[in-house]
Amino acid sequence: MMTAVHESVLDAIGGTPLFRLARLGAGIAAPIYAKAEFLNIGGSVKDRAALSMVLAAERDGLLKPGGTIVEATSGNTGIGLTIVGRQRGYRVIAGVSDKSAPEKSDILRAYGAEVVLATTAVPAEDPAHLFNVVQRLAEEIPGAWLANQYDNQANPDAHVRTTGPEIWEQTGGRVTHFVAGVGTGGTITGTGGYLKDTSGGTVTVIGADPESSMYGGGDGSPWYVESIGHFLHPGTVEDRWPKAYRADVVDVFERVPDRESLLTARRLAREEGILAGPSSGTAVAAALRVARGLGPDDLVVVLLPDSGRSYLSKVHSDAWMRQWGFLEEGDTLRHLLDGAGPLVAVEADATVGEALEALHGAPGGVAPVVLARAARPFGVSAAEVVGAVSREALAAALADGGAKPGDPLGPLLGPALPTVGVGQSPDEARAVLGEAHGAALVLVDGRGAGVLPRAALAHG
């Protein structure tokens, strides 16, 4: 095997190997090969887009010596832009969501970025939203350039020039199916588009999408796999898809529930020796689904965007998996949950009367209150819960004249219930409740499945 010598780390972007997924693909006629993007110098597929965007900005005169690169990114694009930017002599400012794990900011700082924290928990139009904060920085700092990966054509172009040709060459033109997740859409649009053009249209392109993401037809409600899918904040007025994404390149979407994605990422590590992130789990889960229907002359390539090292405290942690209801082993809350009856959830803009009516069916008498959203076919995500309310509190308020049935629920709303995962033990659930809480919201697959009152968790 030839070992490379590079004069710059920038030369170690792209040129990633394919690995046959022999164990996960056992019993499936079509071979499945994984494109190992975690082997890029910055650890992800986004190194390619970062290099391409910076070089294009220099070429177009948008980025000049002494300039500043600005981007809203908590993760891989930030790392890529920081490595490329610092190597080429620029200042780099990364806008990071205040919900992101602190390690993500730490790694950006380690590479030499300046980190600015802002919220993503408000509608996209809100001036406080991370995207708008970053936009303002780019306007105010002289010589600043906003990379804008979502709408930057140099993002998909990176994959037309590198990822697509690599896969074509590595498979000797035998690739028949290409599977990738869709975040900005750069990877699937560029790579998928190239493979289609070069094969004369015979390559099928499959988008691997979180079940509730809007790309594949979901309602845009939250999910747990990071960095892919299209989310819709309930308060957002106008929504549009990134310009880096071309819907016509994708032939079909496989809509993968969080649990299937996360469990597949864990299998990749244990069975194939590939420690990858959760979006790789989504992609491989989709590739397995597709490959099962194919024959020995087909060849599936699935792209693994990043390493699992950044998610040791999430998908690769048993405790985290149990806490969010993705893993159920041993002494769990399942038997208590099955006895708890269906979950009653109340919309945040309901009236007191409507809430009380809904609560008549609530076994525990307590309901989580969720942000208003028209349709929620996948259940209430823990991220959507804004508070809780009990039947007793509402009845008391009506009885003493503190509220009328037509009044808004808001002023009577209590804090959100603490959450426990169905995979946790009764002891762990009791510890979460402590002295302060009367009930817990039980999560299955990250979504509310029932309310367990303290009494149900009592010893004995």
**Residues designated catalytic:** 46
Which one of residues 44, 162, 221, 332 is an interface residue with ligand PMP (CB under 6 A)?
Answer: 44
| Residues in the chain, total | 460
- Written as six digits, the tokens of 417 are 């219930």
Q: Tokens representing 193?
A: 């588009």
**35 or 322, CB closer to ligand PMP?**
35
CA 249 – CA 207 distance, rounded (Å)? 9
Coil/strand/helix, residue 95: strand
- What pairing do the DSSP bridges indicate for beta strands 447-453 and 366-370? unpaired
Smaller CB distance to ligand PMP: residue 85 or 192? 192
Q: Give me the 322-341 binding string for ligand PMP, x by CB under 6 A, dash otherwise.
A: --------------------
Near ligand PMP by CB under 6 A, which window of 184-192, 331-339, 402-410, 417-425? 184-192
For 205, phi then psi, to 5°, come to: -110, 125
Q: Half-sphere exposure (CA, 13 Å, Cβ side) for 327?
A: 17
The smaller minimum CB distance to ligand PMP, of residues 207 and 387, is found at 207
> What is d(CA 310, CA 316) in angstroms, rounded to the nearest whole number?
10
- Contact between 182 and ligand PMP (CB under 6 A)? yes
Instruction: Candidates 21-29, 176-184, 192-200, 331-339: pick the segment binding ligand PMP (CB under 6 A).
Output: 176-184
Contacts of 70 (CB under 8 A, 6+ apart): 92, 93, 95, 134, 137, 138, 141, 144, 145, 146, 147
Among 120, 264, 279, 424, binds ligand PMP (CB under 6 A): 279
Q: Interface with ligand PMP includes 68 (CB under 6 A)? A: no
* Binding residues among 369-398 for ligand PMP as defined by CB under 6 A: none
Q: Cα Rg for the chain, rounded, in angstroms?
A: 24
* Nearer residue to ligand PMP within complex by CB, 47 or 428: 47
* Structure-block tokens of residue 180: 């990738």
For ligand PMP, what does the binding mask look like between residues 221 and 240, x meaning CB under 6 A? ------xx------------
423 belongs to the binding site for ligand PMP (CB under 6 A)? no
Cα separation of 366 and 138, whole Å? 47
* Cβ distance to ligand PMP smaller for residue 308 or 364: 308
Place of tokens 């990364």: 94
Q: Is residue 284 a contact point for ligand PMP (CB under 6 A)?
A: no
What distance in Å separates the CA atoms of residue 268 and residue 247, rounded to the nearest whole number? 29
CB closer to ligand PMP, 182 vs 403: 182
Pick the closest to residue 50 from 65, 64, 66, 71 (CA basis): 71
Q: Which of residues 301-320 bind ligand PMP (CB under 6 A)?
A: 305-306
**74 in contact with ligand PMP (CB under 6 A):** no
Nearer to ligand PMP, 113 or 182 (CB): 182
To ligand PMP, the closest distance from the beta carbon of 390 in angstroms equals 40
Contact in structure between 279 and 182 (CB atoms under 8 Å): no
Beta bridge partners of 242: none
Which helix H or strand E contains 20, and what residues bound it?
strand 18-20
Mapping DSSP to helix (H, G, I), strand (E, B) and coil, where does residue 184 land? coil
Choose which of 25, 78, 183, 281 interacts with ligand PMP (CB under 6 A): 183
Instruction: Supply the minimum distance, in Å, between the C-beta of residue 378 and ligand PMP.
Output: 21
How many CB atoms within 10 Å of residue 206?
Answer: 23
Per CB under 6 A, 76 contacts ligand PMP: yes
Q: How far apart are CB 279 and ligand PMP at their closest, in Å?
A: 3
Is 152 near ligand PMP (CB under 6 A)? no
> Which of the ranges 121-129, 179-187, 349-357, 386-394 carries the binding residues for ligand PMP, by CB under 6 A?
179-187
Helix count and strand count (H, E) for the chain: 15, 16
Applying CB under 6 A, among 42, 43, 75, 365 the residue interacting with ligand PMP is 75
| C-alpha torsion sign, points 298, 303, 308, 313 | negative
Q: Is the Cβ of residue 211 or residue 306 nearer to ligand PMP in the bound state? A: 306
If one asks whether residue 129 binds ligand PMP (CB under 6 A), the answer comes out as no
Structure tokens at 354: 């409507």
Pick one of 30, 38, 42, 46: the residue that binds ligand PMP (CB under 6 A): 46
Whether residue 318 contacts residue 327, with contact meaning beta carbons closer than 8 Å, is answered with: yes
Question: What is the smallest separation between the CB atom of 48 and ligand PMP, expressed in angstroms?
Answer: 9
Q: Minimum distance between the CB of residue 336 and ligand PMP, rounded to whole angstroms?
A: 36
Interface residues toward ligand PMP, by CB under 6 A: 44, 46, 75-76, 181-187, 227-228, 277, 279, 305-306
